[in-house]
Structure 1
């Protein structure tokens, strides 16, 4: 049962990946909201939080998700910037986008570390590790699905110049 829920969520995320690149801010909010709800149900099925810890855990989880979604919006904004500048990407713009991406990755790591300590206090270290193992897995799968739909720098230009075969 747990595996089927995980697989369904992964398929949903993979199918939704192109939506992440849309420029409409309302669409971003909608995707973020839907992802949070689906993810919350997945966390609930996977962790099976004891009733005595449930209120504290879900309050902390909602706080964490709010901060994670803000980082997700920044990541989406970076993708939108990349898409908008792709055809005329200068060295300076590429450097700025790369540094912003590295910063965003660092912010995710800081968030994970900070909240791991908080979740450990509520769930214990093993369950907190279990939660973040799933969290990092879902984030990695989502990033992979997005990256598979984004051309590498210069890729479109080289395809346009390639002779028809």
Structure 2
């Protein structure tokens, strides 16, 4: 029984420590895939003229500020899930699920707002290119995070009954 408890505690601690480094790892994930910073990826992919790049920089900076806020919320939700994983109740699961869905909707609204702003300064094709790239990058980050987070009840299933 002590072994099972120790395994569960170690799993939760490692899961929690992952959540604490989420922002750094977001950057690391992108750099490990592409060998470049996110800003460099965006600049290279967008391939804008100097005047377009200057106009787009304001939109991009605003987007990044809002995205970081959503990322902080995502980080807090992961920590909350980790802290409550072993004792998750219906009420807490409901709270976390709803908050996660609101966070996902927040990203979608941000994409829409940013597309509208970007379209005004760099045109629809370039604005669509940016949104396409950003959704792709966020999908990679989300997949990496999801691979490290245990499903609800997953660790309980791995317990050995003695």
| TM-score normalised over the length of structure 2 | 0.79
Which structure's CA Rg is the greater one? 2
Cross-structure match for 2:75: 76
Cα contact 2:81–2:96 (8 A) shared by 1 = yes
Cross-structure match for 2:131: 132
Q: Does 1:22 align with 2:6?
A: no
Offset from partner CA, 1:8-47 (integer Å, 9 cap, x none): xxxxxxxxxx898333xxx566557887x92111000100
CA distance in 1, matches of 2:112, 2:104: 13
Structure 1 residues 104 and 20: CA distance shift in structure 2, 3 A: farther
Q: Residue 161 of structure 1: CA displacement? A: 3.7
Deviant stretches of 4+, over 6 Å: 32-35
Offset from partner CA, 1:106-129 (integer Å, 9 cap, x none): 111111101100000111001110
Cα contact 2:19–2:78 (8 A) shared by 1 = no
Structure 1 residues 162 and 62: CA distance shift in structure 2, 3 A: farther
Cross-structure match for 2:10: none
CA distance in 2, matches of 1:40, 1:129: 17
Offset from partner CA, 1:74-102 (integer Å, 9 cap, x none): 01110110011000000000000000000
Structure 1 residues not aligned, in runs of 5+: 1-17
Q: Secondary structure at the match of 2:39?
A: helix
| TM-score normalised over the length of structure 1 | 0.78
Structure 1 residues 49 and 75: CA distance shift in structure 2, 3 A: same
Please provide the CA RMSD for this pair: 2.5
Structure 1 residues 118 and 20: CA distance shift in structure 2, 3 A: farther
